[in-house]
Structure formats: structure tokens, C-alpha cells
Amino acid sequence: MDNIVDNRTVLIGRTLSNALWQYARLKEMLECPAQQSWYFQKGIESRQKALEKFAATFESFRNDVNSDNLDMLLTEKIELETHLAKFHEKGGPHSFMQAVGYGAIINKLGYTHCLLRLKSRFGKLAPLSYYLKHPKAMEELTTLDYG
């Protein structure tokens, strides 16, 4: 059980890191489109949409980290672990719908673990623009160990 949740937590943490790095890289490329390849220039509109998607992903994480307090996250973690333990007491999920519910609990628990790590390490996350202006802060956020 812990291994599955730990793997999910790492994957979610990498999603945050990837969104931040991809946003920074793509923003820099879009600031000088004439210096990019012909192929890049033909897809400017789709790249703008990708930039917005990366920003939205980061903002979603940021909002969740900044809006919850540590006690709320710990309470949620305990509740999710209790639900997961009930599945294991019964020998795991026995139907498709139970498996879907089990998977949802694993995902939510992984996300909660990720939020706990971010919250306990940083307290609050700064806006995206802050990390673009402060490479050390960006590196610290994106190299956080989620495992």
C-alpha cells in the first residue's frame, strides 16, 4: 500500500516540477519567436495554449498548498488512510466500482502527501512569476524529494 502511494506522490510531485520547468522554457521561447524554428513559429497558437495549461497546473497546486493548513491536510491524510485500511481488511477491492474507488483514494492520498511535503517545506508557494525571477527558489521547489 505504502509503495503505491509513494509512487503516486512522486508522480504528482514530478507533474508540478515539469509544469514549472516547461512553463519557463516555453515562455522564454515565445518571447523571441523569430529565433525559433519554422515549425515552432507555425504552432505559436498551440504553444500559447500549452503555456496557459502549464500555468494553470502550477496555480492549481499553489492554490491547494496555500489554501489548506497543515492540520487540515493531516486530518485528510488520516481519513484517506483509514478508508484504504478498510479496503485491505476486506482483502482489497472485489468489483470494478470498488477498484475505481480504491484508485481514487490512492490518487487523493498521493496528492495529499505531495501537498504535505510542499506545505511543510515552504509554508506557502509564491506566484509563478516569482520562480521565474528567482532561479534558486525555482530549483529548490523543483528538486524537492517527494519519495
pLDDT at 91: 77
Are 38 and 146 in contact, with CB atoms under 8 Å apart? no
**pTM given for the model:** 0.78
How far from 132 is each of 35, 45, 55, 61, 62, CA to CA, in Å? Answer: 21, 22, 12, 16, 15
Residue ranges of domains in the chain:
2-13+58-142
pLDDT at 2: 59
Q: What is the pLDDT along the chain (147 residues), one digit of tens a residue?
A: 556 666 666 777 788 888 888 999 999 999 998 898 988 888 999 999 999 999 999 999 899 999 878 889 999 999 999 988 888 788 777 788 888 888 888 888 888 988 998 898 899 999 999 999 999 999 888 887 766
Say if CB 146 and CB 114 are below 8 A apart: yes
Averaged pLDDT score across all residues of the chain: 86
